[in-house]
Structure 1
């Protein structure tokens, strides 16, 4: 089996003295390889191959050393979100049951802690486990094999493309799977990545300085990030290719970005299909599409009946749920055989071939010119400021509060991404807790990305004639 570490080492053998990482100092491929080997020895001294290793890294340089060292030791890595509240982090660790915790103590240096009650070491073919929001309140771990990761990186190297000697900016948090494109893609093609500290990500002025210093050929970020930069009068980077994904790219944002960069690409992809699956070069703000599937990606639209996709003999449609297949699919969900079977069924695809597919829950349609237009979600999952959020997870956590009897979370201003926000409506027993108390309850249990901008207490929640909560009405308030 070929791993991401093997792909890196093959490139290191070709360009040992080329710069691989630009952080507080530069690291050549040879130096990075030595760091990976040293950490690998430490890992195998504490846990067997096939183990799951939790990675708590602040910097991307340390992050990539941890990922590659885990792979070198035949282990899978679980990137942790340093910004998550302790209760949310504890919930993920309890579900994943890693054998070892790697905690960054300095750039590319780690403390290793063995953890109790770890799972059996059966993950030698898994590159990483990435946790996403879960509708039941239980986050779910997506198992991404090395084969899927390498397949996807090979496709991205071609489209949108990254070449030997290029630099890509690394600004995405380790717990967001698109960071794998920033950290690992360059190391497979002889390019480098430049680490972007947290203060730069949130300060438009220092972002301008970062761009001037490193002059990256590629910068990848969510539409929300680019809106923040443009609102702060970012002058642009005329020689830089911008990759934009994680949420819908609007015509207005595209218009503003096109005048500020060399090329603009719209990317789409769920974690379960490994980073990105489609890419489209945007040349006009009036013609934004999801583009073409990357190499190795199969895609079709499945018509839905009463809002529910058919379970067998799917028929290709001009409008419907995006269904993906190919070698880039994740293995499924950690310890969730029922959910894995539901979302990754084996079906007879429209071309007559029986395949394992992934039902994305995303809707799209083919325009008359053949381009693919994104239409939004089929369920209660949303994308907000680049974060994939199950509204059901927010509701489930609120309903754990002893005073809350029911909760409904909705996305307000869904058609205006610049103004979109989450609002929550609750009913309570006895005296209603103050909004501040409910907000504190959520803040202790969910990442900041999941916190609503508004919490309102109601005597009852409005219902549709079918007896369901009328979320459309709530979203319009």
Structure 2
């Protein structure tokens, strides 16, 4: 191990042994590009013929190797998520079981966690799906800053927005001094607190002042089910997501007779920014 390994949070597992092959594949069994997460499949001399007296599990885990002409060759489906680093080594990202589906999008939680820990001020992170209100599933990121540093939810959101599609950016960010652990040292996901959006609202609240801001605050309140919306509040930090963003654009079209794109909403996500964007569109019309 090097000092860089000790200071980093990545789980680098090195390179395959000479008599083994490791493939990182997408759900269609196609190799993924370097740096892109994929499920790890192992082939070669070390792969066994299957599980003893468990034919169904063997059929699930041991598949025919599509990368060789040998009809007897098999690949073992590990269920692990990993990616290749530029130096050719493998970085372990977690179990494929941590893949979730929200509003029709399939999301790899370990991929978000791995990217969030690339932020220079983030030491470790956990991302999970919370359903604190029935039927309302939201991505929540928990982050522990490096010692002697600090990080804000806005900074983490902006960082991920440059690296991920909008539907994979968490709806809320919670900053912790440390992640809760179970008795055997694993992260206790059940002990992670719900994001306290109301307290954040109270601390930041500045009342709407123009007619456009007041109308927009009412629309946000209806869509996000919050009572108080200030001009510096962020639509996505209040719980907005891509589906609600589409609904917001429709309501803005009806209320202000302007056509707002999803891209414009993501780049002007606070109430005051969005209000200014609407005013500019009205002048253009």
Question: TM-score if structure 2 supplies the norm length?
Answer: 0.39
More RCO (CA 8 Å, sep 6+): 1
- Judging by fraction of residues, say which structure has more strand: 1
Question: TM-score if structure 1 supplies the norm length?
Answer: 0.25
